[in-house]
Structure formats: structure tokens, C-alpha cells
Structure 1
Amino acid sequence: MQDVADAAGVSVGTVSNVLNHPAKVSPATAERVREAIGRLGFVRNDAARSLVSGSTKSIGMVLADIENSLFIDMAHGAQDAARAIGQNLLLANTACDMRLQDDYLDLFDESRVTGVLLAPMEDSTAGIARIRSHGRQVVLLNYAPRPGTCCSVLVNNEHVGYLAARHLIDTGRTRLAYVVAHDDYQPVRDRRRGVRAAVEEAGPGVTLEEIDSVGLTTSHGHVVGAELARRAPEELPDGLLVVTDELANAIIHELHTVAGIRVPDQVAVVGCENNRAAGAAAVPLTAVDMPGRMMGQEAIRLLMDEVASGKQHRHATVVLEPELIVRSSAPN
């Protein structure tokens, strides 16, 4: 900064104002400083600034699975909200690997980010406690924390499962099957409870089979779809609930496109995320929408509220409601 000041014929304080408070500097002086910055190739040292301020103008966001468009939507919402308040968003993908998640939490902690948004699939209490003990605030997305741990933004995942099952029941489907895996994931467990509640509410005229897909990816969906296609017609469910849209689209492909089992005439299918591929499937997928962008925006708001309130802060939980989006795989 001293080199820039000497080259521009101004004080170091003026250079600092151009970088941080440009409204305090006349346009002509600011232009002279920016010209010197460009000529000298000056890049300010944000790490050094963070040593003085205790944090950067950045927020870390750690996501479980960047291939899932729900998490992408969360990131878009968080980025929009962060930029509106002069913060940058730094993004990390753990691919559902808890060790990698811990590494990224430590990296953002060491980088002195303003705070961290964390969207995990498993209990992350230990990692949250570790970086909170260093004064770094954390907000959880799509995962309910242990009481008193941190702020959180949730979708009512139990209602996601309920809406999906209730739609099939209301459209006359009576032999339901729920395709699901990873009951160790909290959102998955919550959706299962909602599905079971809707079936129990419907009474003895509706049955529910639960199919373990082992995993949640497209390849697992193809396996389940192929296995269903080998069943005799009378053994097929007439309504399929699928815990993720990625699984659902692969199952539709195996049933409808490969085996010629008509969706929705013979088997109606409902997904539980409304991801970006839902409307582009071989048969556009009816799905329960998760408001990912709003989740990201609310998480930034909660984080900055905690940063501003300091020791007076009280943890809060925001619960957003899902919405059924009806398409061709399970029409009304």
C-alpha cells in the first residue's frame, strides 16, 4: 500500500479509503490510485486484514452434495443474500464424506470467515462445536441440530413424505411402494415418517411396501427399476414414492422406456425434491418442491443476525413448508 501511495502521490490512508470507502475520495484521486494499483500489480492481503479485524468479508458454505440441485439452489439463495450485504460466498462440496466436511470446516475456520453455512446429511455436532469454540458462527440447513447447538433453516421433511403419499392416495392408488435408502440421514428418516403417517391415515384399503434402494444415485434407481419391471403385473405397486428425484427418474426410465410399463397408467411415480431434472424426465416427474433458494437466503439472515447480536443472541429455527408440483408421472 505504501508503494501504491508513493506512485499515486497520496497517503496510505487515501489508498485504504479507495479500497474500502471509495465515497470518501474524489473521483480524480481515486482514479489516480486505481491506475497506480493496476500498474504495480497490487493485490491487497486479505489474510493480513483478517488478523486485524478477526474475520474476512466472506462466508463459507459446506454442502453435502453439489450434484443435487437442492444444494445448488441453497447456494444460489445464499450467494444472492450475501452479495446484497457486501459478503462473498465460498463454496465447498463434501460428497457426503464426513472427514472431508471436517477438513472444510477447519479450512474456513482458519480463513477467518464471517461464519459458516453447513448443509450436512449426518450429525455434525462435534464439528460445529469445534469451530464455534473459536468464535465462528454456524447455521445448519436441512438438518435439525441438537437443542441449543446453533441456528437452523429446515424444510418440513416429514410433510414432504406425507404430501407425496397423500397425492397418490387421493388419486386412487392403493398399492404403494416407497423406494428409500440411508435411513441414517435425518431428512430421509423424516420423509419416511410422513409417508407412513399418510398410509396409516388412509386406513386398511391402502398398503405400503418399502424397498431399500441401497443408495440414492441414478445407478441405484436403474437397479430398482429393473427389478420392479421383472415382477408379474399383479405384483407391481400402482403408486411409487421415491425419496429422491434422481432415483425416481431412473426408475421411470426402466419401467416406462425400457420395459414398456406405462407411467402413470400402470404405475404412478412421485419424487421428493423437485430437482432441476424433474420436468425433463422421460415422463415429467410429479414431485414435492423444496424451497432451496429461500433456505439459503434465510440462512444468511440468521447468520448475520447472530454476528450482529453477539452474546445477546438466541438460536432460532426457521421451518419452511414444501409444495407439491404435479406433472405427468402422477397427474391429478
Structure 2
Amino acid sequence: MNTSPDASRPRPVMADVARHAGVALGTVSNVLNNPQIVAQETRERVLNAIDELGFVRNNAARSLVTGRADTVGFVVVDVGNSFFVDMARGVEEELDAHNIRLLLANSDVNLAKQDSYISVFEEAKVAGILLAPLDAPLDAARAARHRGMPVVHVNWPGDDDACGVVVDEELGGYLATRHLLDQGLRRLAFAGGPFSLSAIAQRHIGAQRAVAEVADAHLETIETHSITVRGGYALGEMLSSRPVGERPEGLFAAADALAAGAIQTMQLAGMHVPSDIAVVGYDNNHFAQDSSIPITSVGQPGHEMGRTAAQVLYEEIADPADHTHRTITMTPTLFTRASSAVV
């Protein structure tokens, strides 16, 4: 017998499932929402009816009744960056423990898309929103919060009416630069940009602090238009075109993509990494350790950040009256690899 759904027939509703299974409508609701209180035989009869009819629960309608869906929306600035992928996995792992589903959206470094996804999630009546935002005004998120939607920032500090989970970016810049100094290198360069990005500016401050601790060290600052691989190509071309004595001995690139592009171009120009120039990146992206020369990098605990942000959001959803907004700061870690292993 063909049991595939007939597109010409209306979609089955809970009342159809109840009639087909020979149970009350409330029993179907309990099977869907509180299955542990339904006898196994009855539960199986209802589940079989659901399968046979092709019933799909309408969570949008359910959220209109309950005022809250069992879902959380997460707007990520760049799903192509493994840091944010790790973060999303941490969020999902924590939400799974509370039987909450995750809806993931990629703003693709576009403020209009970021704001539109916040609106979409708000209209869908999700239980709350996690936001890994662009470095830009958060007007849409603030408006959603003022309408009662819990919002937690990830990789961005909180404020008076929202929590945030961040990494100590200044410490990360310090660790990267201190590592180069500990290799005996003194002519260093920091590359990244634009400096209007708060994370880049904080990493630069950390690099300056490390250099200030060593009397004969010097830090050159190179502001790039972006922290992409393409930006790294331009950086590598600029450094390799200099006379040997005018090149830095160590390079701290504010992102792994920037470091990877620079390394590739410098190698093509005949420079050797790390003997001619040691390189440290940032983010500990997955490709950093798989490059032709594995890249030393400062890693941010993306998975832990995601889990923590989801925990904080769940606290606010479950008990908003007693919830206290706060910013949680996590510690970065330096992962040493061949790109800076000067001997």
C-alpha cells in the first residue's frame, strides 16, 4: 500500500492523529510534549498514527499558544570561519541538554542580513537569540531585547540589559608577541586591520605591551585593509620586496588567514619561514595546523564560549526575574607550531 503523502490532500492535524489512534486529543499532545506520562502501548499507537498520516507538528502555532518555542536562534558573523563553527557546536551541545533545538543563521559579514535574521527569529518567537555580531551598532538586537527577547552576545561584551561572552583579546596579542620575543627576535611587526575593529585594536595593544617589556625590541605596525588570505598576499609582497636588513624578524598577523597568505607569498619570493621570518597568527583556525608550514596561532576557546553563552541564555530564559546580566571573559591559548620554531 502506498503511504506517501498526497499533495492534493490537506496536511493532517493533531485531531486527525487522535481519531486515527482512537485516543483523546490531549493524549496526542502529551505524547508530543510529555511522553513519559503516557503508557507505552498508547504512546506507540499514537506514534504509529503520526507516521501513517505523515503528521508534522506546527511549532510556529505552538509557540503562539505557549508564548515561546523550544528553539534558540544563533546569528553567526561568518560560518566560513572555523572559530564560529566550533562556537555553534558548543551552543548545540549545551542546548541539547535542555531539549532545545538550534536554528543557525549566517550574516556573512553583512549588517543588513544580521538585522534581518534577528527579525526572523523574533517573529518566529524563539526562546532566545545568541548573536556573534559584526563590529557595528547593535540597534536591532537592542530593540529586540527591549521587546522582551533574551539576547546574549558571543565574542562581544554584554551591557546593562544583555550578557556577553568574550575572550581577552589584549592577552592574546601579548601571548603572540611575547612568544616571538622569547625566541630572541627583536625586530617585530604587527599586521592587521582595519584598526576600527575592536578585536584588532586590542590585539595590537597586547603586542605593544609585550614589546615594552624588552628594552631593545621594536614593533612596526602595519595596518591592512582586511585580515583575509588576499590581504596576506599583499602583506607578504610588501615585506618580501624590502631589503633583507629592513625586514622584520618576526611577524604577528592578527588572523590566521592573513598569516597564511603572507607566508605563501613570502615563500614564493624566496624567503624561508621561520629562519628568515617567524610568523604567528590568530584564531587557531583548522587550516592553521594543516598548512604547508603549520602556523603558530593564538586560539580562542570557541566551543567553550558557545557552551557558556548557551548556559547564560538558558538561565535568562528559565528564570528572567533572578537573572543578572554580566560579561564573561575567557582566556586565549598559544599553540606553537613550525612557523615560529626558530632554532
TM-score with structure 2 length normalisation? 0.93
Give 3-state SS (helix, strand or coil) of 1:277's partner: helix
- After TM superposition, give the deviation of residue 212 of structure 1 in Å: 2.1
Match of 1:232 among 243, 248, 259: 243
Query: Which residue pairs with 1:190 in the alignment?
Result: 202
- After TM superposition, give the deviation of residue 118 of structure 1 in Å: 0.6
Give 3-state SS (helix, strand or coil) of 2:195's partner: coil
- 1:259-300 Cα offsets, whole Å, 9 max, x none, are 221100110000111110110112111111110000000001
In structure 1, distance between residues paired with 2:136 and 2:322: 26
Query: Which residue pairs with 1:302 in the alignment?
Result: 312
Is the counterpart of residue 290 in structure 1 residue 303 in structure 2? no
Q: Which runs of structure 2 are paired with 1:35-50 in the superposition (5 Å)? A: 35-50=48-63
- 1:108-147 Cα offsets, whole Å, 9 max, x none, are 11111111111113144312221012211111111123x4
CA RMSD of superposed structures (Å): 1.2
Q: Which runs of structure 2 are paired with 1:214-233 in the superposition (5 Å)? A: 214-233=225-244
- After TM superposition, give the deviation of residue 201 of structure 1 in Å: 2.1
Query: Which residue pairs with 2:164 in the alignment?
Result: 152
Match of 1:275 among 285, 291, 295: 285
In structure 2, distance between residues paired with 1:40 and 1:154: 47
Give 3-state SS (helix, strand or coil) of 1:61's partner: strand
Query: Which residue pairs with 1:254 in the alignment?
Result: 265
Is the counterpart of residue 100 in structure 1 residue 113 in structure 2? yes
- After TM superposition, give the deviation of residue 103 of structure 1 in Å: 0.5
- After TM superposition, give the deviation of residue 213 of structure 1 in Å: 2.0
In structure 1, distance between residues paired with 2:197 and 2:102: 26
| Alignment-mate amino acid for residue 253 of structure 1 | Q
TM-score with structure 1 length normalisation? 0.96
- After TM superposition, give the deviation of residue 90 of structure 1 in Å: 0.7
Match of 2:224 among 201, 213, 216: 213
Give 3-state SS (helix, strand or coil) of 1:324's partner: strand
Kept after mapping to 2: 8 A contact 1:143/1:186: no
Is the counterpart of residue 322 in structure 1 residue 332 in structure 2? yes
Is the counterpart of residue 121 in structure 1 residue 134 in structure 2? yes
- After TM superposition, give the deviation of residue 89 of structure 1 in Å: 0.8
Query: Which residue pairs with 2:29 in the alignment?
Result: 16
Query: Which residue pairs with 2:71 in the alignment?
Result: 58
In structure 1, distance between residues paired with 2:164 and 2:45: 46
Give 3-state SS (helix, strand or coil) of 1:59's partner: strand
Is the counterpart of residue 331 in structure 1 residue 322 in structure 2? no
Gaps of 5+ in 2: 1-13
For these two proteins, the number of residue pairs brought into alignment is: 329
Query: Which residue pairs with 2:6 in the alignment?
Result: none
In structure 1, distance between residues paired with 2:46 and 2:194: 57
Kept after mapping to 1: 8 A contact 2:28/2:46: yes
Kept after mapping to 2: 8 A contact 1:268/1:330: yes
Kept after mapping to 2: 8 A contact 1:4/1:36: yes
Is the counterpart of residue 171 in structure 1 residue 172 in structure 2? no
- 1:38-77 Cα offsets, whole Å, 9 max, x none, are 1211111111100111111111111111111111111010
- 1:183-234 Cα offsets, whole Å, 9 max, x none, are 222211211111111112223x111111122112111111211221111111
In structure 2, distance between residues paired with 1:54 and 1:131: 15
Kept after mapping to 1: 8 A contact 2:111/2:134: no
Query: Which residue pairs with 2:211 in the alignment?
Result: 199
Quote the sequence identity (%). Answer: 41
Query: Which residue pairs with 2:10 in the alignment?
Result: none
Deviates more, 1:238-247 or 1:117-126: 117-126
- After TM superposition, give the deviation of residue 104 of structure 1 in Å: 0.6
Give 3-state SS (helix, strand or coil) of 2:220's partner: strand
In structure 2, distance between residues paired with 1:19 and 1:294: 32
- 1:241-265 Cα offsets, whole Å, 9 max, x none, are 0000011011111112x12211001
Query: Which residue pairs with 2:3 in the alignment?
Result: none
